[in-house]
Amino acid sequence: MKVSVLMGGASAEREVSIKTGSAVIKACKKLGYTATPIEFYDDYKSLLTEIKFSDIVFNALHGTTGEDGTIQSWLEKYNISYTGSNSDASRTCMNKDQSKKIVRENNFLTPDWFLMDKNIELGKIKYPCIVKPNAQGSTFGLSMVENKDALERAISLASEYDRDVLIENYIKGREITVGILDMEPLPIVEIVPKHQIYDYECKYNPGMSKYLCPANIDKSLTNKIKRDSIEIFKILGCSGYGRLDFILDDGEYHFLELNTLPGMTSTSLLPIAAKNSGLSFTQLISKIIEVSI
């Protein structure tokens, strides 16, 4: 099987994508596939000749262009098979404001939020709150704001990554994540960061977070979270694989976002959950390719 592995891109998550792509290539080679690394910056349209004869494109991109429906639409235009959700679902999930609206309209909990604009009265914001780019991943530009003095700085940071800034109520609780693979939920992972929130430093620096899998949640609640995760995954139009993030507070779980292209190194959250369910990293990559084809 010929697999082209798209990685890099021009987003803030370029380095994370290259790590994902490198891990995927190693797994593909273990599986006996012909894996070709396709690393690029922002000129993805020039890649057509390289990838059009692949059996499948493994999309190892993260962030804008790779995860927001742009690459997906382009691949669909040329009828090229690829991993992950389609362009519509990718576009919806990358837009946190839009995906949260859909989730709330379907009667699932999500923290109150609004998009920052010049008409917002800053004096009405409740603290603490979370300030983040509306369409970005890997916690880039994310801040927890305790008071109005820090708000302007947080908005400025988030604005470096996206013109739309989302301000979300902070809910103190347990950070959990649910991986989905072929419409089946994987074991729930609880994230225990050293900081008050799971920020970039905690996400990518060894020793800054602990990952508990399966999370210590009673069986009936675990099953309910898993059922609802599948339902949200379907409502948002996703397919193949993905990962949903929640805050668990006193038995209630609040949807934060759905990551359609989660990190895929051996130490990333989705592979941790897959390993707990009995799938090695190589088997996980094989399964993703199988369901995508």
Contact, 58 vs 33, CB < 8 A? no
On the question of pLDDT at 149 being above 80, the answer is yes
User: What pLDDT is attached to residue 46?
Assistant: 93
User: What pLDDT is attached to residue 196?
Assistant: 73
Summarize the confidence of residues 99-123 as an average pLDDT: 88
On the question of pLDDT at 119 being above 70, the answer is no
| SS3 category, 269 | helix
For residue 62, give the nearest of 16, 99, 96, 3 by alpha carbon. Answer: 16
Q: Predicted confidence band at 102 (pLDDT cuts at 50, 70, 90)? A: very high
Using only the alpha carbons of the chain, give its radius of gyration.
Answer: 19
Q: Predicted confidence band at 12 (pLDDT cuts at 50, 70, 90)? A: confident
On the question of pLDDT at 206 being above 90, the answer is no
Q: Predicted confidence band at 266 (pLDDT cuts at 50, 70, 90)? A: low
Summarize the confidence of residues 129-139 as an average pLDDT: 85
Distance, CA of 55 to CA of 58 (rounded, Å): 10
Query: Which helix or strand (DSSP H or E) is residue 103 part of?
Result: helix 96-105
Q: Predicted confidence band at 118 (pLDDT cuts at 50, 70, 90)? A: low
Summarize the confidence of residues 200-229 as an average pLDDT: 89
**Percent of the chain predicted with pLDDT > 70:** 97
User: What pLDDT is attached to residue 90?
Assistant: 97
User: What pLDDT is attached to residue 200?
Assistant: 66
Beta bridge partners of 235: none
Give the domains, in start order, of the chain with CATH numbers. Answer: 2-83 (3.40.50.20), 93-109+172-292 (3.30.470.20), 113-169 (3.30.1490.20)
Task: Please list the active-site residues.
Answer: 13, 138, 204, 243, 245, 257, 259, 263
Distance, CA of 293 to CA of 287 (rounded, Å): 10
Residues 6+ apart with CB under 8 A from 273: 177, 178, 179, 186, 187, 188, 189, 213
Average pLDDT of the chain is 92
Contact, 25 vs 57, CB < 8 A? no
For residue 108, give the nearest of 220, 236, 218 by alpha carbon. Answer: 236
On the question of pLDDT at 1 being above 70, the answer is yes
